[in-house]
Amino acid sequence: MSDSPLFRRTPGASVGAGRGRRVETYYLYHLHPNGRFAARDIIRAEDDAQAEAEVERLYHGYAMELWQGPRKVKTFELR
């Protein structure tokens, strides 16, 4: 990708393919029953609501935490 200002991106964000919408990077941490992090996935979404919906769709029922940078967005309880 070019160093042109037209292509410069904010850290943690990317542009949606062909839509011109800002897409944020979220990190989904899977929690082990002992409370420690067991794994991490990356979720790309336009906002918190879309990220939460994607987590519910893909990982319904697991104990997880959704983060965007240093901000915890939501804790998902084990069901």
Looking at residue 5, what DSSP letter applies? Answer: G
Maximum CA extent, the chain: 48
pTM (predicted TM-score): 0.71
Please report where in the chains the tokens 């029922």 appear, as a residue. 61
What pLDDT digit, counting tens, does each position of 32-48 carry? 888 888 999 999 999 99
- Residue 19's pLDDT is 62
What pLDDT digit, counting tens, does each position of 6-21 carry? 323 334 444 344 466 7
What pLDDT digit, counting tens, does each position of 21-77 carry? 789 999 999 998 888 889 999 999 999 999 999 999 988 888 999 999 999 999 999
